[in-house]
Chain A
Amino acid sequence: KQEVTQIPAALSVPEGENLVLNCSFTDSAIYNLQWFRQDPGKGLTSLLLIQSSQREQTSGRLNASLDKSSGRSTLYIAASQPGDSATYLCAAVNTGNQFYFGTGTSLTVIP
C-alpha cells in the first residue's frame, strides 16, 4: 500500500522568503504526482501535476520536482506572500487512478 509522508507538518516563514516543502512516497510505481492547496474550510485546489516521466513542473512562483527512483517530490515556493498561507498536500497517483494523500504541511507566511 502506498504511504505518503510530508515533512514538516507545519512551517512559519517571514514574507519574501523562498521555501521548500517535502513529500515522500513508498511505492515508486506512480502514474503522476500532484500538489494541492487547501484553505481553511475549503476543498483542495490543484496546483501542479507532474507525470511520472517528468522531472519538474512550474507555475508562476511554484516549482515542483519529482524523483521517482528515490520516492521524493518537492514544492518550491519563491518569494512567499501572506496569501500563500494554507495547507499544502501532495498525492501520489497510481495507474488505477487512485490518489494517496499525505497529511499536508501547514504554511504560515508572516507579513
Chain B
Amino acid sequence: NAGVTQTPKFRVLKTGQSMTLLCAQDMNHEYMYWYRQDPGMGLRLIHYSVGEGTTAKGEVPDGYNVSRLKKQNFLLGLESAAPSQTSVYFCASSAHRGTGRNQPQHFGDGTRLSIL
C-alpha cells in the first residue's frame, strides 16, 4: 500500500551541484506533479505530466527539468543547484479526469533539500 514514494527524504547539496529527485507511484495514475513548498508561499507547481512521455511547465519551472519515461515514475532534476532552491519538494499523482470519478491528488511525504 505504498501510494506515492519519494526518494531521498533529505539531502544537502553545495551550490552548483546537480541531483535528481525520484517519485514513484503504484496507483496507475496518469497525472503526476512536482511542487515546492516554502514558508508563507504555499505549494507552487514546478512541472507536471499528463501521461508517460509528456511533461509541461508549471508556475516556477526555471532551474528544474523533469522526465516521465515510465508511467509510474516522475523525475525532477536540478542541473546546477542554487540556495534559492532550498525547499521541501512534494510529488503528487492523480487519476485521469476521464474516469468520471473524483480525482484527488495523492502526495508523497516530501524531500527536504538544503543548498549551501
Query: B-contacting residues of A (Cβ < 8 Å)?
Result: 4, 31-32, 34, 36, 41-46, 49, 51, 89, 91, 97-99, 101-104
Tell me how many residues of B have a C-beta within 8 Å of chain A: 26
Instruction: Using A43-B110, A103-B40, A103-B42 as known contacts, say yes or no to A98 and B105 having CB atoms under 8 A apart.
Output: no
Residues of A near B108 (CB, < 8 A) are 43
Nearest Cβ distance between residue B42 and chain A, in whole angstroms? 4
CA distance A49 to B105 in the complex (A): 10
A-B contact pairs, 26 of them (CB 8 A): A34-B105, A36-B105, A43-B4, A43-B90, A43-B107, A43-B109, A44-B43, A44-B92, A44-B107, A45-B107, A46-B105, A51-B102, A89-B43, A91-B105, A97-B48, A97-B50, A97-B94, A98-B45, A98-B58, A99-B33, A99-B43, A101-B35, A101-B43, A102-B42, A103-B40, A104-B42
The A-contacting residues of B in range 65-100, CB under 8 angstroms, are 90, 92, 94, 97
| A-B Cβ contacts below 8 A, count | 56
Given A42-B109, A49-B104, A98-B48, 11 further pairs, Cβ under 8 A: A4-B42, A41-B109, A41-B110, A43-B92, A44-B105, A49-B103, A97-B48, A97-B94, A98-B45, A101-B35, A103-B41
Cβ contact within 8 Å between B45 and A42: no
